[in-house]
Structure 1
Amino acid sequence: MTAFASAMTHRLPIASAEQTPPAPETQSAVDGAITSRRSIRRFLPTPVPRTTLEAILQVAARAPSGTNTQPWQVHVLTGAALARLSARILAAYDDPAQAAQHTEEYAYYPREWRSPYIDRRRKVGWDLYGLLGIAKGDKPAMHAQHGRNFRFFDAPVGLIFTIDRVMEQGSWLDYGMFLQNIMVAARGRGLDTCPQAAFTQFHRLIEDELKLDASTQQVVCGMSLGWADPAAIENTLVTERAPVAEFTRFHDA
Protein backbone atom coordinates (compact mmCIF):
# COMPACT_ATOMS: atom_id res chain seq x y z
CA MET A 1 0.00 0.00 0.00
CA THR A 2 1.36 3.46 -0.90
CA ALA A 3 1.79 6.25 1.62
CA PHE A 4 -1.12 8.01 -0.07
CA ALA A 5 -3.37 4.98 0.28
CA SER A 6 -2.38 4.43 3.90
CA ALA A 7 -3.26 7.99 4.82
CA MET A 8 -6.50 7.95 2.85
CA THR A 9 -7.77 4.76 4.45
CA HIS A 10 -6.55 5.42 8.01
CA ARG A 11 -9.39 6.69 10.19
CA LEU A 12 -8.16 9.57 12.31
CA PRO A 13 -9.75 10.16 15.72
CA ILE A 14 -12.04 13.14 16.16
CA ALA A 15 -9.89 16.13 17.05
CA SER A 16 -10.00 17.73 20.49
CA ALA A 17 -8.14 20.59 22.14
CA GLU A 18 -5.86 18.12 23.92
CA GLN A 19 -4.85 16.14 20.85
CA THR A 20 -1.73 16.82 18.83
CA PRO A 21 -1.91 17.49 15.07
CA PRO A 22 -1.65 14.52 12.68
CA ALA A 23 1.83 13.20 11.98
CA PRO A 24 3.70 15.11 9.25
CA GLU A 25 3.72 12.06 6.98
CA THR A 26 -0.09 11.91 7.13
CA GLN A 27 -0.40 15.56 6.17
CA SER A 28 2.17 15.09 3.43
CA ALA A 29 0.36 12.07 1.98
CA VAL A 30 -3.03 13.79 1.90
CA ASP A 31 -1.59 17.01 0.48
CA GLY A 32 0.36 14.98 -2.08
CA ALA A 33 -2.75 13.16 -3.28
CA ILE A 34 -4.53 16.48 -3.76
CA THR A 35 -1.71 18.44 -5.38
CA SER A 36 -0.65 15.62 -7.71
CA ARG A 37 -4.15 15.32 -9.15
CA ARG A 38 -4.24 16.44 -12.79
CA SER A 39 -6.60 15.98 -15.70
CA ILE A 40 -4.97 13.13 -17.62
CA ARG A 41 -5.73 12.94 -21.33
CA ARG A 42 -4.09 9.67 -22.32
CA PHE A 43 -4.25 6.44 -20.34
CA LEU A 44 -2.68 3.01 -20.53
CA PRO A 45 -5.03 0.07 -21.32
CA THR A 46 -4.09 -1.67 -18.05
CA PRO A 47 -7.31 -2.84 -16.35
CA VAL A 48 -8.29 -1.54 -12.92
CA PRO A 49 -9.57 -4.29 -10.59
CA ARG A 50 -13.21 -4.01 -9.60
CA THR A 51 -12.21 -4.27 -5.95
CA THR A 52 -10.09 -1.13 -6.38
CA LEU A 53 -12.99 0.73 -7.99
CA GLU A 54 -15.33 -0.30 -5.20
CA ALA A 55 -12.79 0.82 -2.58
CA ILE A 56 -12.42 4.22 -4.24
CA LEU A 57 -16.18 4.73 -4.38
CA GLN A 58 -16.58 3.59 -0.77
CA VAL A 59 -14.03 6.18 0.37
CA ALA A 60 -15.56 8.87 -1.87
CA ALA A 61 -19.00 8.24 -0.37
CA ARG A 62 -17.75 9.85 2.86
CA ALA A 63 -18.23 13.20 1.10
CA PRO A 64 -20.51 15.53 3.07
CA SER A 65 -24.03 16.18 1.83
CA GLY A 66 -26.84 18.26 3.27
CA THR A 67 -28.77 16.18 5.83
CA ASN A 68 -26.89 13.13 4.50
CA THR A 69 -28.91 13.02 1.28
CA GLN A 70 -25.99 11.47 -0.68
CA PRO A 71 -27.32 12.59 -4.09
CA TRP A 72 -24.78 10.76 -6.26
CA GLN A 73 -25.48 7.89 -8.64
CA VAL A 74 -22.52 6.28 -10.43
CA HIS A 75 -22.43 4.18 -13.61
CA VAL A 76 -19.13 2.33 -14.09
CA LEU A 77 -18.29 1.31 -17.65
CA THR A 78 -15.55 -1.09 -18.70
CA GLY A 79 -14.94 -3.45 -21.61
CA ALA A 80 -17.69 -3.78 -24.19
CA ALA A 81 -20.05 -1.41 -22.36
CA LEU A 82 -17.48 1.40 -22.45
CA ALA A 83 -16.63 0.75 -26.10
CA ARG A 84 -20.29 0.71 -27.10
CA LEU A 85 -21.10 4.05 -25.47
CA SER A 86 -17.97 5.63 -26.92
CA ALA A 87 -18.84 4.45 -30.43
CA ARG A 88 -22.39 5.82 -30.24
CA ILE A 89 -21.29 9.25 -29.02
CA LEU A 90 -18.40 9.50 -31.48
CA ALA A 91 -20.69 8.65 -34.40
CA ALA A 92 -22.93 11.56 -33.44
CA TYR A 93 -20.03 13.90 -32.65
CA ASP A 94 -18.35 13.31 -36.02
CA ASP A 95 -21.58 13.92 -37.98
CA PRO A 96 -22.38 17.67 -37.97
CA ALA A 97 -26.07 17.07 -38.64
CA GLN A 98 -26.35 14.64 -35.74
CA ALA A 99 -24.19 16.72 -33.41
CA ALA A 100 -26.45 19.72 -33.94
CA GLN A 101 -29.35 17.73 -32.51
CA HIS A 102 -27.57 17.25 -29.16
CA THR A 103 -27.31 20.06 -26.62
CA GLU A 104 -26.39 20.32 -22.95
CA GLU A 105 -29.18 20.30 -20.38
CA TYR A 106 -27.46 22.80 -18.12
CA ALA A 107 -24.96 25.61 -18.57
CA TYR A 108 -21.61 24.46 -17.23
CA TYR A 109 -19.79 27.57 -18.40
CA PRO A 110 -20.87 31.23 -18.08
CA ARG A 111 -22.97 32.68 -20.86
CA GLU A 112 -20.87 35.83 -20.72
CA TRP A 113 -17.12 35.35 -20.39
CA ARG A 114 -14.98 37.98 -18.65
CA SER A 115 -11.52 38.26 -17.12
CA PRO A 116 -9.85 36.51 -15.40
CA TYR A 117 -11.92 33.44 -16.39
CA ILE A 118 -11.69 33.82 -20.16
CA ASP A 119 -7.94 34.41 -19.88
CA ARG A 120 -7.44 31.22 -17.88
CA ARG A 121 -9.63 29.27 -20.29
CA ARG A 122 -7.67 30.45 -23.31
CA LYS A 123 -4.31 29.80 -21.69
CA VAL A 124 -5.03 26.20 -20.73
CA GLY A 125 -6.44 25.54 -24.19
CA TRP A 126 -3.43 26.89 -26.03
CA ASP A 127 -1.01 25.30 -23.58
CA LEU A 128 -2.54 21.90 -24.34
CA TYR A 129 -2.70 22.47 -28.09
CA GLY A 130 0.88 23.73 -28.03
CA LEU A 131 2.09 20.49 -26.46
CA LEU A 132 0.17 18.51 -29.08
CA GLY A 133 1.41 20.63 -31.98
CA ILE A 134 -2.08 21.85 -32.88
CA ALA A 135 -1.91 25.29 -34.49
CA LYS A 136 -4.47 28.05 -34.07
CA GLY A 137 -7.21 27.64 -36.64
CA ASP A 138 -6.56 23.93 -37.19
CA LYS A 139 -10.20 22.99 -36.66
CA PRO A 140 -9.92 19.33 -37.79
CA ALA A 141 -7.15 18.69 -35.26
CA MET A 142 -9.09 20.50 -32.53
CA HIS A 143 -12.19 18.48 -33.36
CA ALA A 144 -10.22 15.24 -33.18
CA GLN A 145 -8.62 16.15 -29.85
CA HIS A 146 -11.96 17.12 -28.31
CA GLY A 147 -13.41 13.86 -29.62
CA ARG A 148 -10.92 11.95 -27.48
CA ASN A 149 -13.13 12.89 -24.54
CA PHE A 150 -15.67 10.42 -25.85
CA ARG A 151 -13.07 7.64 -25.94
CA PHE A 152 -12.47 8.36 -22.25
CA PHE A 153 -8.94 9.20 -23.39
CA ASP A 154 -8.32 5.44 -23.81
CA ALA A 155 -8.86 4.80 -20.09
CA PRO A 156 -10.01 1.30 -19.12
CA VAL A 157 -12.73 2.75 -16.89
CA GLY A 158 -15.38 5.32 -17.74
CA LEU A 159 -17.66 6.79 -15.11
CA ILE A 160 -20.97 8.51 -15.77
CA PHE A 161 -22.54 10.45 -12.92
CA THR A 162 -26.25 11.19 -12.62
CA ILE A 163 -28.45 12.97 -10.10
CA ASP A 164 -32.15 12.79 -9.30
CA ARG A 165 -33.98 15.70 -10.90
CA VAL A 166 -35.78 16.55 -7.66
CA MET A 167 -32.45 17.66 -6.12
CA GLU A 168 -31.59 21.35 -6.10
CA GLN A 169 -28.43 23.47 -6.32
CA GLY A 170 -27.16 22.52 -2.87
CA SER A 171 -26.99 18.87 -3.88
CA TRP A 172 -24.85 19.80 -6.88
CA LEU A 173 -22.39 21.38 -4.43
CA ASP A 174 -22.39 18.11 -2.49
CA TYR A 175 -21.82 16.25 -5.76
CA GLY A 176 -18.67 18.25 -6.45
CA MET A 177 -17.18 17.15 -3.15
CA PHE A 178 -18.00 13.52 -4.01
CA LEU A 179 -16.28 13.87 -7.39
CA GLN A 180 -13.21 15.37 -5.78
CA ASN A 181 -13.11 12.51 -3.29
CA ILE A 182 -13.04 10.01 -6.16
CA MET A 183 -10.14 11.79 -7.80
CA VAL A 184 -8.13 12.09 -4.59
CA ALA A 185 -8.82 8.49 -3.55
CA ALA A 186 -7.72 7.38 -7.03
CA ARG A 187 -4.45 9.29 -6.63
CA GLY A 188 -3.97 7.63 -3.27
CA ARG A 189 -3.85 4.34 -5.17
CA GLY A 190 -1.54 5.59 -7.92
CA LEU A 191 -4.37 6.04 -10.42
CA ASP A 192 -5.35 9.13 -12.40
CA THR A 193 -8.57 10.68 -13.63
CA CYS A 194 -10.06 13.30 -15.91
CA PRO A 195 -13.44 14.82 -15.01
CA GLN A 196 -15.39 15.57 -18.19
CA ALA A 197 -18.33 17.90 -18.70
CA ALA A 198 -18.11 17.19 -22.45
CA PHE A 199 -20.44 14.23 -22.05
CA THR A 200 -23.39 16.43 -21.09
CA GLN A 201 -23.98 17.40 -24.74
CA PHE A 202 -24.86 13.78 -25.52
CA HIS A 203 -26.98 13.08 -22.46
CA ARG A 204 -29.80 11.58 -24.55
CA LEU A 205 -27.48 8.95 -26.02
CA ILE A 206 -26.14 8.19 -22.55
CA GLU A 207 -29.66 7.87 -21.14
CA ASP A 208 -30.59 5.44 -23.88
CA GLU A 209 -27.43 3.36 -23.67
CA LEU A 210 -27.51 3.08 -19.87
CA LYS A 211 -31.30 2.60 -19.75
CA LEU A 212 -31.77 5.65 -17.54
CA ASP A 213 -35.17 7.12 -16.77
CA ALA A 214 -34.64 10.61 -18.18
CA SER A 215 -37.73 11.86 -16.38
CA THR A 216 -36.03 11.31 -13.03
CA GLN A 217 -32.26 11.12 -13.71
CA GLN A 218 -30.01 13.85 -15.12
CA VAL A 219 -26.47 13.36 -16.41
CA VAL A 220 -24.01 15.45 -14.38
CA CYS A 221 -20.70 14.62 -16.10
CA GLY A 222 -18.34 11.82 -16.99
CA MET A 223 -14.88 10.84 -15.79
CA SER A 224 -11.99 8.79 -17.14
CA LEU A 225 -10.06 6.67 -14.65
CA GLY A 226 -6.99 4.51 -15.03
CA TRP A 227 -3.20 4.51 -15.19
CA ALA A 228 -1.69 7.59 -16.85
CA ASP A 229 0.49 6.98 -19.92
CA PRO A 230 3.86 8.40 -18.80
CA ALA A 231 5.04 8.75 -22.42
CA ALA A 232 2.14 10.98 -23.52
CA ILE A 233 3.19 14.61 -24.03
CA GLU A 234 -0.29 15.90 -23.11
CA ASN A 235 0.11 14.39 -19.64
CA THR A 236 2.97 16.78 -18.90
CA LEU A 237 0.55 19.71 -18.77
CA VAL A 238 0.37 21.25 -15.30
CA THR A 239 -2.18 24.04 -15.11
CA GLU A 240 -1.47 27.18 -13.13
CA ARG A 241 -3.27 28.13 -9.92
CA ALA A 242 -3.77 31.62 -8.53
CA PRO A 243 -1.98 32.35 -5.24
CA VAL A 244 -4.03 32.37 -2.04
CA ALA A 245 -3.74 36.16 -1.77
CA GLU A 246 -5.53 36.55 -5.11
CA PHE A 247 -8.74 34.74 -4.14
CA THR A 248 -8.86 35.13 -0.34
CA ARG A 249 -9.76 37.87 2.12
CA PHE A 250 -9.15 37.38 5.82
CA HIS A 251 -11.62 39.16 8.12
CA ASP A 252 -10.25 39.35 11.65
CA ALA A 253 -11.41 42.67 13.04
Structure 2
Amino acid sequence: MHVDEAISSRKSVRRFLPTPVSADVVRHILEVAARAPSGNNVQPWRVYVVGGECRDKLCGAIVEAASGDPDRHQPEYAYYPTSWFEPCLERRRRCGFGLYAALGIARDDKDARQRQMLRNYTFFDAPVGLIVTLDRRLNTGSFMDVGMFIQNILVAARAQGLHTCAQAAFAWFHKIAREHLPMAASEMLLCGIALGHEDPEAPENAFITERADLSEFASFHGCDVTARSDAA
Protein backbone atom coordinates (compact mmCIF):
# COMPACT_ATOMS: atom_id res chain seq x y z
CA MET A 1 0.00 0.00 0.00
CA HIS A 2 1.38 3.42 -0.97
CA VAL A 3 1.92 5.64 2.05
CA ASP A 4 -0.59 8.19 0.68
CA GLU A 5 -3.27 5.51 0.56
CA ALA A 6 -2.40 4.26 4.03
CA ILE A 7 -2.76 7.77 5.45
CA SER A 8 -5.92 8.71 3.56
CA SER A 9 -7.67 5.40 4.32
CA ARG A 10 -6.90 5.56 8.04
CA LYS A 11 -9.98 6.16 10.15
CA SER A 12 -11.20 5.50 13.66
CA VAL A 13 -12.81 2.06 13.60
CA ARG A 14 -15.24 1.44 16.45
CA ARG A 15 -16.20 -2.17 15.82
CA PHE A 16 -13.74 -4.92 14.99
CA LEU A 17 -14.04 -8.52 13.89
CA PRO A 18 -12.70 -11.27 16.19
CA THR A 19 -10.18 -12.26 13.51
CA PRO A 20 -6.82 -12.78 15.27
CA VAL A 21 -3.79 -10.62 14.59
CA SER A 22 -0.49 -12.43 14.95
CA ALA A 23 2.19 -11.24 17.33
CA ASP A 24 4.62 -11.13 14.40
CA VAL A 25 2.43 -8.59 12.59
CA VAL A 26 2.11 -6.45 15.72
CA ARG A 27 5.86 -6.64 16.25
CA HIS A 28 6.46 -5.55 12.64
CA ILE A 29 4.09 -2.58 13.00
CA LEU A 30 5.84 -1.40 16.16
CA GLU A 31 9.31 -1.84 14.68
CA VAL A 32 8.31 0.31 11.69
CA ALA A 33 6.59 2.88 13.92
CA ALA A 34 9.71 3.23 16.05
CA ARG A 35 11.37 5.04 13.15
CA ALA A 36 9.37 8.10 14.22
CA PRO A 37 11.50 11.19 14.81
CA SER A 38 12.22 12.30 18.36
CA GLY A 39 14.27 15.14 19.79
CA ASN A 40 17.86 13.99 20.44
CA ASN A 41 16.67 10.46 19.59
CA VAL A 42 15.21 10.10 23.08
CA GLN A 43 12.49 7.70 21.80
CA PRO A 44 10.25 8.47 24.79
CA TRP A 45 7.46 6.00 24.02
CA ARG A 46 6.67 2.70 25.67
CA VAL A 47 3.99 0.26 24.54
CA TYR A 48 2.18 -2.56 26.31
CA VAL A 49 0.55 -4.99 23.88
CA VAL A 50 -2.42 -6.83 25.39
CA GLY A 51 -4.38 -9.74 24.03
CA GLY A 52 -6.14 -12.88 25.19
CA GLU A 53 -6.74 -13.27 28.91
CA CYS A 54 -4.62 -10.24 29.81
CA ARG A 55 -6.70 -8.04 27.54
CA ASP A 56 -9.95 -9.44 28.89
CA LYS A 57 -8.99 -8.87 32.53
CA LEU A 58 -7.78 -5.32 31.87
CA CYS A 59 -10.88 -4.43 29.88
CA GLY A 60 -13.21 -5.98 32.44
CA ALA A 61 -11.62 -4.04 35.29
CA ILE A 62 -11.81 -0.72 33.44
CA VAL A 63 -15.41 -1.28 32.33
CA GLU A 64 -16.32 -2.00 35.96
CA ALA A 65 -14.57 1.17 37.15
CA ALA A 66 -16.12 3.30 34.41
CA SER A 67 -19.58 1.91 35.17
CA GLY A 68 -19.35 2.29 38.93
CA ASP A 69 -17.68 5.56 39.96
CA PRO A 70 -15.99 7.12 36.91
CA ASP A 71 -15.45 10.50 38.59
CA ARG A 72 -12.86 8.89 40.87
CA HIS A 73 -10.63 8.42 37.84
CA GLN A 74 -8.86 11.33 36.17
CA PRO A 75 -6.09 11.50 33.55
CA GLU A 76 -2.62 12.75 34.39
CA TYR A 77 -2.60 15.28 31.58
CA ALA A 78 -5.18 17.57 30.00
CA TYR A 79 -6.15 16.36 26.54
CA TYR A 80 -8.94 18.85 25.87
CA PRO A 81 -9.25 22.57 26.66
CA THR A 82 -11.20 23.69 29.72
CA SER A 83 -13.01 26.24 27.55
CA TRP A 84 -13.95 25.38 23.96
CA PHE A 85 -13.82 27.88 21.10
CA GLU A 86 -14.52 27.96 17.37
CA PRO A 87 -13.92 26.27 15.03
CA CYS A 88 -12.90 23.49 17.45
CA LEU A 89 -16.25 23.50 19.25
CA GLU A 90 -18.28 23.04 16.08
CA ARG A 91 -15.96 20.30 14.81
CA ARG A 92 -16.30 18.48 18.12
CA ARG A 93 -20.08 18.71 17.96
CA ARG A 94 -20.24 17.44 14.40
CA CYS A 95 -18.02 14.53 15.32
CA GLY A 96 -20.19 13.47 18.25
CA PHE A 97 -23.51 14.05 16.50
CA GLY A 98 -22.32 12.24 13.38
CA LEU A 99 -21.17 9.17 15.27
CA TYR A 100 -24.36 8.80 17.28
CA ALA A 101 -26.48 9.41 14.20
CA ALA A 102 -24.63 6.60 12.41
CA LEU A 103 -25.39 4.34 15.38
CA GLY A 104 -29.03 5.41 15.50
CA ILE A 105 -28.63 6.75 19.04
CA ALA A 106 -30.84 9.73 19.89
CA ARG A 107 -29.30 12.75 21.59
CA ASP A 108 -31.41 12.25 24.72
CA ASP A 109 -30.76 8.49 24.99
CA LYS A 110 -28.26 8.64 27.83
CA ASP A 111 -28.24 4.90 28.44
CA ALA A 112 -27.34 4.07 24.84
CA ARG A 113 -24.66 6.75 24.83
CA GLN A 114 -23.18 5.33 28.01
CA ARG A 115 -23.14 1.82 26.56
CA GLN A 116 -21.33 3.11 23.49
CA MET A 117 -18.84 4.99 25.65
CA LEU A 118 -18.07 1.84 27.63
CA ARG A 119 -17.20 0.04 24.39
CA ASN A 120 -14.04 2.16 24.34
CA TYR A 121 -12.75 0.05 27.21
CA THR A 122 -13.11 -3.21 25.31
CA PHE A 123 -10.99 -1.78 22.50
CA PHE A 124 -14.20 -1.91 20.45
CA ASP A 125 -13.83 -5.72 20.39
CA ALA A 126 -10.41 -5.59 18.70
CA PRO A 127 -8.35 -8.68 19.57
CA VAL A 128 -5.25 -6.59 20.25
CA GLY A 129 -4.96 -3.49 22.38
CA LEU A 130 -1.97 -1.21 22.83
CA ILE A 131 -1.36 0.95 25.88
CA VAL A 132 1.05 3.82 25.15
CA THR A 133 2.92 5.60 27.93
CA LEU A 134 5.42 8.42 28.35
CA ASP A 135 7.93 9.03 31.13
CA ARG A 136 6.53 11.92 33.17
CA ARG A 137 10.03 13.28 33.81
CA LEU A 138 10.22 14.38 30.18
CA ASN A 139 8.77 17.62 28.84
CA THR A 140 6.15 18.86 26.39
CA GLY A 141 8.29 18.18 23.32
CA SER A 142 8.17 14.46 24.05
CA PHE A 143 4.37 14.55 23.61
CA MET A 144 5.03 15.56 20.00
CA ASP A 145 7.48 12.68 19.63
CA VAL A 146 4.97 10.15 20.95
CA GLY A 147 2.28 11.65 18.73
CA MET A 148 4.41 10.98 15.66
CA PHE A 149 5.07 7.45 16.93
CA ILE A 150 1.35 6.82 17.40
CA GLN A 151 0.60 8.11 13.90
CA ASN A 152 3.23 5.73 12.56
CA ILE A 153 1.45 2.84 14.27
CA LEU A 154 -1.87 3.78 12.68
CA VAL A 155 -0.36 4.12 9.20
CA ALA A 156 1.80 0.99 9.48
CA ALA A 157 -1.30 -0.95 10.53
CA ARG A 158 -3.09 0.15 7.38
CA ALA A 159 -0.15 -1.10 5.31
CA GLN A 160 -0.86 -4.52 6.84
CA GLY A 161 -4.54 -4.31 5.89
CA LEU A 162 -5.55 -3.58 9.49
CA HIS A 163 -7.43 -0.75 11.14
CA THR A 164 -7.07 1.07 14.43
CA CYS A 165 -8.67 3.50 16.83
CA ALA A 166 -6.52 5.76 18.99
CA GLN A 167 -8.28 6.13 22.35
CA ALA A 168 -7.40 8.83 24.85
CA ALA A 169 -10.28 7.46 26.97
CA PHE A 170 -7.88 4.97 28.55
CA ALA A 171 -5.86 7.80 30.12
CA TRP A 172 -8.57 8.24 32.75
CA PHE A 173 -7.97 4.72 34.06
CA HIS A 174 -4.21 4.65 34.50
CA LYS A 175 -4.56 3.40 38.09
CA ILE A 176 -6.47 0.35 36.87
CA ALA A 177 -3.92 -0.26 34.10
CA ARG A 178 -1.10 -0.24 36.67
CA GLU A 179 -2.77 -3.14 38.46
CA HIS A 180 -2.55 -5.27 35.31
CA LEU A 181 0.61 -4.08 33.56
CA PRO A 182 4.22 -3.63 34.78
CA MET A 183 4.15 0.16 34.43
CA ALA A 184 6.80 2.08 36.31
CA ALA A 185 5.73 4.86 38.65
CA SER A 186 7.40 7.33 36.29
CA GLU A 187 5.17 6.31 33.37
CA MET A 188 2.15 8.36 32.35
CA LEU A 189 -0.60 6.56 30.42
CA LEU A 190 -1.31 8.59 27.29
CA CYS A 191 -3.75 6.48 25.31
CA GLY A 192 -4.86 3.09 24.15
CA ILE A 193 -4.99 1.88 20.54
CA ALA A 194 -7.41 -0.74 19.26
CA LEU A 195 -5.85 -2.88 16.52
CA GLY A 196 -7.52 -5.46 14.31
CA HIS A 197 -9.73 -6.13 11.30
CA GLU A 198 -12.60 -3.72 10.65
CA ASP A 199 -16.17 -5.01 10.76
CA PRO A 200 -17.37 -3.67 7.39
CA GLU A 201 -21.03 -4.21 8.32
CA ALA A 202 -20.93 -1.98 11.40
CA PRO A 203 -22.71 1.34 10.74
CA GLU A 204 -20.34 3.28 12.98
CA ASN A 205 -17.44 2.32 10.72
CA ALA A 206 -19.11 4.09 7.81
CA PHE A 207 -18.85 7.36 9.73
CA ILE A 208 -15.73 9.23 8.62
CA THR A 209 -14.98 12.71 9.88
CA GLU A 210 -14.32 15.45 7.35
CA ARG A 211 -11.12 17.45 7.11
CA ALA A 212 -10.76 21.19 6.63
CA ASP A 213 -9.72 22.47 3.23
CA LEU A 214 -6.03 23.23 2.84
CA SER A 215 -6.78 26.94 2.62
CA GLU A 216 -8.20 26.87 6.15
CA PHE A 217 -5.03 25.72 7.88
CA ALA A 218 -2.07 26.50 5.62
CA SER A 219 -0.63 29.63 4.07
CA PHE A 220 2.29 29.82 1.67
CA HIS A 221 4.96 32.53 1.77
CA GLY A 222 7.68 33.07 -0.80
CA CYS A 223 6.74 30.10 -2.98
CA ASP A 224 4.51 29.67 -6.01
CA VAL A 225 1.82 27.15 -5.03
CA THR A 226 0.25 27.27 -8.49
CA ALA A 227 3.32 25.72 -10.14
CA ARG A 228 3.73 21.98 -9.99
CA SER A 229 6.80 20.13 -11.12
CA ASP A 230 6.58 17.20 -13.51
CA ALA A 231 7.44 14.90 -10.63
CA ALA A 232 4.57 16.14 -8.46
Interval containing the TM-score (normalised by the shorter chain): over 0.9
Q: Does 1:203 align with 2:203?
A: no
Deviations 1:189-214 (A, max 9, x none): 10000000001111111112113222
For 1:221, what is the secondary structure of its paired residue?
strand
2: distance between equivalents of 1:60 and 1:93?
31
Residue 45, structure 1, aligned to residue 15, structure 2: no
Q: Using the alignment, how far apart are the partners of 2:187 and 2:83 within structure 1?
A: 28
SS, match of residue 129 in structure 2: strand
Instruction: Identify the residue that residue 138 of structure 1 maps to in structure 2.
Output: 109
Q: Which residue of 2 aligns with 1:90?
A: 63
Q: CA deviation at 1:251?
A: 1.4
Does 2:200 correspond to 1:230? Answer: yes
From 101, 107, 127, give the equivalent of 1:156.
127
Runs of 4+ in 1 over 4 A off after TM superposition: none
TM-score by length of 1: 0.87
TM-score by length of 2: 0.94
Give the % identical residues. Answer: 51
1:51 and 1:68 map into 2 onto residues whose CA distance is 25
- C-alpha separation in 1, matches of 2:103 and 2:96: 11
Secondary structure in 2 aligned to 1:163?
Answer: strand
SS at match of 1:34: helix
Cα distance in 1, alignment partners of residues 4 and 205 from structure 2: 20
Per-residue CA deviations over 1:199-233 (Å, capped at 9, x if unaligned) read: 1111111112113222x111011000000001111
Match of 1:65 in 2: 38
- Cα deviations across residues 99-121 of structure 1 (Å, max 9, x unaligned)? 12111111100111011001000
The alignment's C-alpha RMSD in Å is 0.9
Q: How many residues align?
A: 223
Structure 1 distance, partners of 2:209, 2:71, is 31
Cα distance in 2 for residues equivalent to 1:179 and 1:101 = 28
Which blocks of at least 5 consecutive residues in structure 2 are unaligned?
A: 224-232
